[in-house]
């Protein structure tokens, strides 16, 4: 892993590294590693791929990289919510080979969501239901937006704060929440696939079709949705309700879904602030008073902390690689 020295400009640092032949594309880097000898045999130290991109092509290299001896730490949801068969194979390979696949930051960023779930399962608890506000971006938008504001301004603000995905369409379409729900559902044994998840988009058809335009064009077209959002929010407010985007895993029914619902203003989902996530685990052990994990669920600092904690765990549990 290469760490940028304090005070060095990112662009200049990148230029310097590529001048020294350091590959800056993770997928190409992966290919170059695979061209070498078995990583675990050739290097005594712990080798970890730290994928902090949102790239499908980097995620596709995980199985081969793990077979070559690397551990994988990532906040990237593409592999964990990708096709089920390779996902299961990688988890099984990791289990038998002692390689680690660590992905805490894929759900709730730095919040202990997956580790809490793992500990509940590890100690014999049975999950009944997982429900929550799983998007820092959508939470921020709903918590910040007030009548009279422009919806598009609040989205731009969330993007500037580093809460959105590299492509904010993933957040506004509900796809990012659906990915997190797939990851959670698989933890409790539901063979969830992203394609079969019912996802309700926050933005209208006309904007959803804008796949051909780039992110900046999309952001420029977003004000077209301002009026519709204002009338939707006004309607909910007139009924004393708020609109929230919620992911739900019903472990008993073996079902997972993402829904846009209205809640009374006193509901815990309506009481959040900023980019807060709130994940509620109802289990056999915690049936009457479920376990709740709450806190900021997006942003560079908290996400980096989640990734770093995973990295430290890998290094500690594999001191010799």
Ligand X SMILES: N[C@@H](CC=O)C(=O)O
Q: Of ligand NDP, ligand X, none, which one sits near residue 53, judging by CB under 5 to 8 A according to partner kind?
A: ligand NDP
Burial class (CB in 10 A: 0-12, 13-18, 19+), 9: exposed
- Segments of 42-104 assigned E as strands: 48-50, 71-73, 101-102
92 is in an annotated binding site: no
| Rounded least distance, CB 117 to ligand NDP, Å | 16
Encode 171-198: b = buried (16+ Cβ within 10 Å), e = exposed. bbbbbbbbbbbbbbbbbbebebbbeebe
**Contact flag: residue 104 with ligand X (CB under 6 A):** no
Does position 250 interact with ligand X (CB under 6 A)? The reply is: no
Residue (163 or 218) nearer to ligand X, CB: 163
Candidates 81, 143, 164, 282; binder of ligand X (CB under 6 A) is 164
76 binds ligand NDP (CB under 6 A): yes
Cα–Cα nearest to 106, from 283, 310, 256, 260: 310
Return the beta strands (E) in the chain as ranges.
Answer: 48-50, 71-73, 101-102, 127-133, 241-250, 255-264, 276-283, 291-296
Are 155 and 170 in contact by the 8 Å Cβ rule? The answer is no
Q: How far is 131 from 302, CA to CA, in rounded Å?
A: 21
If the CB atoms of residues 158 and 251 are measured against ligand NDP, the closer one turns out to be 158
Q: What is the CA radius of gyration of the chain?
A: 21
- Asked if residue 184 binds ligand NDP (CB under 6 A), the reply is no
DSSP code, position 164: S
**Tokens 């170059």 -> residue:** 32
State yes or no: 77 annotated in a binding site.
Answer: yes
167 binds ligand NDP (CB under 6 A): no
Residues with Cβ within 8 Å of residue 66, at least 6 apart in sequence: 72, 90, 93, 94, 97, 99, 101
Nearest-angstrom CA–CA distance, 142 and 146: 8
**Residues 35-74: x/- map of binding to ligand NDP (CB under 6 A)?**
-----------------xxxx--x----------------
Q: Per CB under 6 A, which of residues 192..211 are in contact with ligand NDP?
A: none
Residue 137 is a binding residue for ligand X (CB under 6 A):
yes
CA distance 134 to 83: 21
Using rule CB under 6 A, residue 298 touches ligand NDP: yes
Q: For residue 32, how far is the Cα from the chain centroid?
A: 27
Q: Is 75 in the site for ligand NDP (CB under 6 A)?
A: yes
Which residues 287-306 are close enough to bind ligand X by CB under 6 A? Answer: 297-298
Residue placing its CB nearer to ligand X in the complex, 69 or 306: 306
Place of tokens 């038998």: 96
* Enzyme catalytic residues: 180
Residues in the interface with ligand X (CB under 6 A) total 11
Q: CB under 5 to 8 A by kind: which of ligand NDP, ligand X, none does 171 bind?
A: ligand X
Q: Return the number of the residue (186 or 251) whose C-beta is nearest ligand NDP.
A: 186
Decide if 182 contacts 256 (C-beta within 8 A): yes
Q: Which one of 50, 90, 105, 199 is in contact with ligand NDP (CB under 6 A)? A: 105
Pick one of ligand NDP, ligand X, none as the site partner of residue 52 (Cβ within 5 to 8 A by kind): ligand NDP
Size of site (CB under 6 A) for ligand NDP: 21
* Interface positions with ligand NDP (CB under 6 A): 25-27, 52-55, 58, 75-77, 105, 109, 136, 162-163, 165-166, 298-299, 303
* Interface positions with ligand X (CB under 6 A): 109, 135-137, 163-165, 171, 176, 297-298
């Amino acid at each position: 892993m290469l760490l940028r020295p304090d005070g060095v400009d990112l662009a200049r640092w990148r230029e310097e590294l590529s001048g020294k032949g350091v590959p800056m594309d993770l997928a190409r880097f992966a290919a170059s590693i695979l061209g070498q000898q078995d990583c675990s045999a050739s290097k005594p130290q712990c080798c970890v791929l730290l994928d902090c991109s949102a790239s499908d092509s980097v995620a596709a290299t995980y199985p081969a990289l793990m077979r070559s001896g690397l551990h994988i730490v990532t906040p990237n949801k593409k592999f964990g919510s990708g096709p089920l068969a390779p996902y299961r194979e990688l988890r099984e390979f990791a289990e038998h080979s002692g390689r680690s696949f660590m992905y805490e930051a894929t759900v709730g960023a730095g919040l202990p969501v997956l580790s809490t779930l793992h500990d509940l399962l590890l100690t014999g608890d049975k999950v009944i239901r997982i429900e929550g506000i799983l998007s820092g971006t959508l939470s921020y938008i709903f918590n910040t937006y007030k009548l009279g504001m422009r919806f598009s301004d609040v989205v731009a603000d969330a993007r500037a704060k580093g809460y959105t995905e590299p492509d904010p369409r993933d957040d506004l379409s509900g796809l990012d929440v659906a990915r997190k729900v797939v990851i959670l559902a698989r933890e409790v044994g539901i063979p969830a696939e992203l394609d079969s998840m019912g996802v309700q988009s926050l933005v209208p058809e006309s904007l959803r079709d804008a796949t051909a335009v780039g992110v900046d064009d999309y952001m420029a077209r977003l004000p077209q949705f301002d009026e519709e959002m204002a009338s939707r929010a006004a309607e909910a407010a007139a009924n004393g309700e708020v609109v929230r985007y919620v992911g739900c895993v019903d472990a008993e029914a073996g079902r997972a879904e993402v829904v846009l619902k209205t809640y009374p203003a006193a509901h815990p989902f309506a009481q959040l602030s900023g980019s807060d996530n709130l994940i509620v685990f109802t289990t056999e052990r915690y049936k009457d008073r479920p376990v709740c994990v709450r806190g900021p669920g997006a942003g560079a600092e908290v996400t980096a902390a989640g990734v770093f904690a995973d990295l430290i765990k890998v290094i500690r549990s594999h001191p010799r690689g």
